[in-house]
Amino acid sequence: MTCSAPPPLTDEQIFTALDMVAGPAVLAHLAHCASCARRLAEAQQMEQRLKSRLHRWDCPPPQQLADYYARRLASEQIETIETHLAGCASCSAELEDLRQFMAAELPPAAPPPDPLRPGPAGRGWLLARPQAQRPAVALRGAGGGPLMAEAEGTTIFLDVQPAGQGIAVQGQLVDAEQERWAGGLIEIRQSGQLLATAVVDDLGSFAASGLPAGRVELRATPLTGRMIVLPKVDLGLDE
């Protein structure tokens, strides 16, 4: 297709239209020339493809955001992340999700009890029994507050709340290799019976509701790597 109002627009003029800073002459040409308008449309499509491939390419990994929240980073790293957060809505939302899970103040951790004899109401420190071909997990939490589990570089935050006639669980997975959890499977079982399943989203979040009170087993299976098992998660809520 040839330009219907020669001379055709230059690439630089097409780019000014792409950046929405084109002058009246360029806009008038595009309004009457199907050939140049098509070139602009192709440039817009190319830009969209590049944006989709580069989406969040410069965002810090979720584990680094968690370390930032816990103030475990050097001052230079903290300054870099704060500058990034000022202009990145996605990372700011991800950090806010983490803040909500950690909103309740946790008391100092008590020494771990015997794993075969968990503490009162399942609170305090709980050590998971080793699973065959699976990483061992330590589960800790506080009455009324979020629970946190760690296993081989993966951190799981759990928030348990009443929901209607049952109990709801909201979770957040934080991993240095976060992409392996996007689309992962969460299973909640009790006495061998499957109660609920959930899919992990691209921010590492998941949720399940309508659960009964009592102790359950939570299984988290990533797209790659080994399953993480929390065999004693207490869904009993404090009065």
The 10s digit of each residue's pLDDT in 193-238 is 899 999 999 889 999 988 988 888 888 888 888 888 888 888 875 4
User: Considering only 24-33, 102-111, 158-167, 176-185, which range has the smallest mean pLDDT?
Assistant: 102-111
Q: Using DSSP, state whether 146 is helix, strand or coil.
A: coil
Instruction: Say how far apart CA 102 and CA 99 lie, in whole Å.
Output: 5
pLDDT at 145 (0 to 100): 59
* Summary mean pLDDT of the chain: 76
Instruction: Say how far apart CA 19 and CA 16 lie, in whole Å.
Output: 5
pLDDT at 57 (0 to 100): 66
pLDDT over threshold 70, residue 112: no
- Give yes or no for a cis peptide into 7 (omega within 30° of 0): yes
User: Considering only 112-116, 152-156, 175-179, 196-200, which range has the smallest mean pLDDT?
Assistant: 112-116
**Token reading at 82:** 């704060």
Q: Quick one: pLDDT band at residue 101, thresholds 50, 70, 90?
A: low
pLDDT over threshold 60, residue 141: no
pLDDT at 63 (0 to 100): 74
Domain ranges of the chain: 11-54, 62-101, 120-234
pLDDT at 237 (0 to 100): 54
Instruction: Say how far apart CA 176 and CA 182 lie, in whole Å.
Output: 13
Over residues 80-104, mean pLDDT: 80
**Token reading at 36:** 């140049």
pLDDT over threshold 90, residue 108: no
Q: Span 120-234: which CATH code?
A: 2.60.40.10
pLDDT over threshold 50, residue 49: yes
Number of neighbours of residue 63 by Cβ within 10 angstroms = 16
